[in-house]
Structure 1
Amino acid sequence: MRVAVVTVGDELLAGETVNTNAAWLGRQLTDRGVTVERTTVVPDRTADIARVVNEYHADYDAVIVTGGLGPTHDDVTIDGVAAAFGRQVVESEDAIAWLEEHGGYTRDDLTEGTGHVPEGSRVLPNHEGVAPGCVVEDCYVFPGVPGEMKRMFEEVADEFSGERRHVVTVDAAEPESALLDRLAEVQDRFPVKVGSYPGEYVTVRFESADESVAEDAAAWLRERVERPDEG
């Protein structure tokens, strides 16, 4: 399963808020065997949300959108997602009924716009807040508040699955440029995905659907590099 994640918010683009939602979703999806191929941040602008969701809907098995839900003037995610699918935005009787029964609200308590979703979508109740999420075809729309988003994802987590990938890492106390020949050779020898990430040490990452293959590739490299504990 291939998924794209779209996070919405001017504050994310301005660096005022750290995009923890994207990191958390990436880990949760990867742990379920899902391949996350895009993580995109877009502003609180209907046209941008619609364009990106429309594009990703055509390219991926599912799209997850977080942020910009609610009745305030800058909460335009529902409008953008509706536009991407050519649907009207309507008040969901299911959402209002859930808020009345479980949230302790009456219809008159709710701000105008609360409970609005794209027409024909499946409503996802918000157990930690007010604004509901929804599912439109293969697009999942969650709140941006981390606690609300995580709780709502748990409700639909079983709808995301794929082939579990196994990761093994090796730290090397050598410059990345000095490792190039060995990295090329290990990739020739083993059917693994190899990545290298410089830092205090160079961390070489091996990924495979077969855990033993990833372990064998890592063992091969460990025997041929200078390790941090050997320095």
Structure 2
Amino acid sequence: MEVALITVGDELLAGDTVNTNANWLAAELSDRGVAVTRILSVPDDRAVVAEHVGAYADAFDAVIVTGGIGGTPDDVTMEAVADAFDRDLAPTDLTREAVERRLAEIRERIPDSDVDVDVEAEAAIPTGSRPLLNDPGLAPGCVIEGVYVMPGIPEELRAMFESVADEFAGDRRSRFLYTVEPESDIVPALEAAGERFDVAVGCYPDREAEHNRLKVTATDERALDEATAWLLANVDASETPVHRDWGDE
């Protein structure tokens, strides 16, 4: 299963907000064996969002779009997704009831709050889409033709993703090895392992931990086992983190 992530928000492109959602989603999906092959950040521009949603929906098994849903002027994601599939926006009974219930909870918790929300607009999703309720928040998400639309607020995103997490599964598996050998010294072995066992091998230096982390990825469990064993035999590596011994230098 190949998935693309689209994170929406001017604040991401300006560097005002760290894109923790993309990092979290990529890790969650990878843990489920899913290949995340694109991560794209786009501005709060309805036409731009619609263009990329439509293109990615055709190219990938699923697309997760985060951010830009709600009632502020720059929240254009839901409209853009509707545009991408030539749909109208309309609330469903389920999303309307969820928004009304959440507003009632807010008013009960904060009696003096002046909450003025257009329920019909807040609850609107593309016609024909499947609603995704936002238990910690207000604006619902949805699923339409393999595109999952979710909030940008991390707490809300994570809760909503958990409600559909079982819909994401793949056969990619990874193993990690650790070595203090210089990266340049182990390149031939990494290339040989990749070619010999048809696996992907990455090397990621960790300056703070003072080791290189090797990641071996494959869709075939046997190939993964054999490649890992071969690397352990041909590289001074360990399956547990190691640190460089500076005692003799």
- Give 1:138-149 correspondences, 5 Å limit: 138-149=146-157
Q: CA deviation at 1:54?
A: 0.7
- Give 1:163-174 correspondences, 5 Å limit: 163=171, 165-174=172-181
Q: Work out whether 1:156 is the aligned partner of 2:167.
A: no
Q: Work out whether 1:213 is the aligned partner of 2:213.
A: no
1:4-63, Cα deviation, whole Å (9 max, x unpaired): 111111111112211111111112212222211111111111011001101101101111
Letter in 1 for 2:8: V
2:80 equivalent in structure 1: 80
Q: CA deviation at 1:79?
A: 1.1
Letter in 2 for 1:145: I
Match of 1:149, SS? Answer: helix
1:192 equivalent in structure 2: 199
| Identity value in percent | 45
Q: Work out whether 1:127 is the aligned partner of 2:162.
A: no
Please give the alpha-carbon distance, in whole angstroms, between the structure 2 residues aligned to 1:211 and 1:60: 24
Could you tell me whether the CA contact under 8 Å between 2:102 and 2:138 is conserved in 1? no
Letter in 2 for 1:209: T
Could you tell me whether the CA contact under 8 Å between 2:57 and 2:145 is conserved in 1? no
1:117-144, Cα deviation, whole Å (9 max, x unpaired): 1122211111101111111121110011
Could you tell me whether the CA contact under 8 Å between 1:99 and 1:105 is conserved in 2? no
Letter in 1 for 2:82: A
Greater alpha carbon shift after TM alignment, 90-99 vs 18-27: 90-99
Q: Work out whether 1:179 is the aligned partner of 2:186.
A: yes
Equivalent of residue 122 in structure 2, options 114, 119, 134: 114
Q: Aligned residues, how many?
A: 228
Distance change in 2, residues 1:204/1:52 (3 Å): same
Please give the alpha-carbon distance, in whole angstroms, between the structure 1 residues aligned to 2:21 and 2:104: 28
Please give the alpha-carbon distance, in whole angstroms, between the structure 2 residues aligned to 1:171 and 1:101: 51
Could you tell me whether the CA contact under 8 Å between 1:7 and 1:41 is conserved in 2? yes
Could you tell me whether the CA contact under 8 Å between 1:208 and 1:214 is conserved in 2? yes
Please give the alpha-carbon distance, in whole angstroms, between the structure 2 residues aligned to 1:9 and 1:230: 42
Please give the alpha-carbon distance, in whole angstroms, between the structure 2 residues aligned to 1:161 and 1:103: 35
1:92 equivalent in structure 2: 92
Greater alpha carbon shift after TM alignment, 134-143 vs 196-205: 196-205
Could you tell me whether the CA contact under 8 Å between 1:46 and 1:76 is conserved in 2? yes
Equivalent of residue 225 in structure 1, options 232, 235, 239: 235
Letter in 2 for 1:146: P
Please give the alpha-carbon distance, in whole angstroms, between the structure 1 residues aligned to 2:33 and 2:27: 10
Q: Which runs of 5+ in 1 are unaligned?
A: none
Letter in 2 for 1:134: C
Could you tell me whether the CA contact under 8 Å between 2:99 and 2:139 is conserved in 1? no
TM-score (structure 2 length as normaliser): 0.83
2:109 equivalent in structure 1: none
Q: CA deviation at 1:212?
A: 4.7
Please give the alpha-carbon distance, in whole angstroms, between the structure 2 residues aligned to 1:13 and 1:154: 27
Letter in 2 for 1:127: D
